[in-house]
Amino acid sequence: MTELVDDILFLSELEQGREVVALGETEAAPVLRAAIDERLERAENAGVTLKLRIDDETLLLPLRRRMLRTIVDNLLENAVRYAGEGATCTLSLGSEDGATVLAASDNGAGVPEGDAPRLFERFFRSDRARTTRGSGLGLAIVKHVVETAGGHVEARGAKGRGLDVRCVWGP
């Protein structure tokens, strides 16, 4: 219950502009490493393997460190909770066609194809998610933070073929 209330209050603050999201730039690699390190035990307990792939150590993202950490924590938590035992989640950072891309991709349970675009709606929970804990707000928060910082998000996946959530800044 506390998690749900905290998520609702945080999203409300973001929507009302009380949190400054895009205040400067953050070197992303150290933030990603710290987030992975802090989730390793929890992921192991859930039977999920976490991997990190950084193509460019010098990439900066146009948002505060705390906001980047919020994005990464929500992406990792989503994978640990819903990918399923035996899945691998890779958190990656790189450049594609002039854009900077932060992605969390897993080869786990996935979601029905029609559900992928709806994952960023508040309180939307796909089939598997309905049977587990969670507020249904994590990916909505990711979307709001990324868009406020000038980026966009997309999700691709299919039942039994994993989920790929991409946060993109640039062209």
Burial class (CB in 10 A: 0-12, 13-18, 19+), 171: exposed
What proportion of the chain, given as a percentage, has pLDDT over 70?
77
Which CATH number is 83's domain given? 3.30.565.10
Quote the pLDDT of residue 131.
Answer: 43
pLDDT tens, position by position, 37-91: 999 999 999 999 999 999 999 999 998 888 899 999 999 999 999 999 999 999 9
> Within 13 Å and on the Cβ side, how many CA atoms surround 124?
14
* Joined tokens for residue 75: 């992406």
Scanning 16-166, the segments in alpha helix (DSSP H) are 28-46, 65-82, 138-148
> What pLDDT does residue 62 have?
92
Tokens of 9: 């209050």
Phi, psi of 89, rounded to the nearest 5 degrees: -115, 125
Please list the alpha-helical segments (H only) found in 22-97.
28-46, 65-82
Give the domain range for residue 32.
2-169
The predicted model scores a pTM of 0.82
Domain count, the chain: 1
Is it the case that residue 134 has pLDDT exceeding 60? Answer: no
pLDDT of residue 5: 47
Q: What is the pLDDT of residue 18?
A: 47
Mean pLDDT of 130-144: 69
For residue range 97-110, list pLDDT tens digits in order.
Answer: 999 999 999 999 88
